[in-house]
Amino acid sequence: MLATSTHLNQTPAAAPIIAAALGCDRPAAYDISAGCSGYAHGVGQATALINSGQSDTILVIGSEKLSNVIDLGERSVAPIFGDGAGAALITRTETGHIRRTVWGSLGEQSHLIRQEPTWEDQRADPETTPTPFLRMEGTEVFRWATVAVPKIVSEIAEAGGVPLRDIEVFVPHQANLRIIDGVARKLGWQDESVVIADDVRRAGNTSAAALPLAIEDLVSSERAKPGQLALQVSFGAGLSYAGQVFDLPRVA
């Protein structure tokens, strides 16, 4: 499963091409378009397929080349985003556990993160219509995230069957530090009892790649250890969101 919103070719999907390059033998392979929350959507789908017996091993990838879809001269957008890719190999195992996924969307807020103009507009009038680029209402996204995400995190913990006080590692979507700090403050996670991912300092907002990159950064830097109880949450265009409680994995 490939979570991406920046594969520029509508056909074919990128996942089958990647699977062939990896030497996989006739795998099911498809792209997931859920904005920044695409990777967490993929983790949810993979877990459900494995738990139902449909699959044994699934590679979930989050990959974005946002430099292709942003106006590099737009100061409200260009400094925020980065290119990146990360992945998780999810398989049936006696150790490690991914709990129930919480996910959803608020289509009435879809205008907050959008492509503008549309490709239909550009095709209808290519001479005067500019190239479609990613646009974002940053202030409104910030307000929504700092209010809604703490509630979503509580839902994720409840679905995972654990109290918030038991969470050892918090992996929020790496949108920006102000949102991360605001969410952590409302959850009461400002002391050192919870390790909070902040890979945005290094990589920027890499959309669907943000969660796996943040996990890799936490474990490889030894700020967090495999086996610790973690909670991840992501949100973005749609507005879509998704997250899970899970045991922090080893990293390659």
Q: Catalogue the active-site residues.
A: 36, 173, 205
Phi first, then psi: give them for residue 99, nearest 5 degrees: -80, -175
Nearest to 237 by CA among 2, 6, 21: 6
Contact 244, 121 (CB under 8 A): no
Output the DSSP codes for 7-31: ---SSS-HHHHHHHHTT-SS----E
- What's at 34, amino acid-wise? A
Tokens matching residue 58: 């699934």
CA distance 83 to 61: 14
CA distance 35 to 4: 7
Contact 145, 175 (CB under 8 A): yes
Phi first, then psi: give them for residue 28, nearest 5 degrees: -65, 130
Contact 43, 101 (CB under 8 A): yes
Contact 241, 105 (CB under 8 A): yes
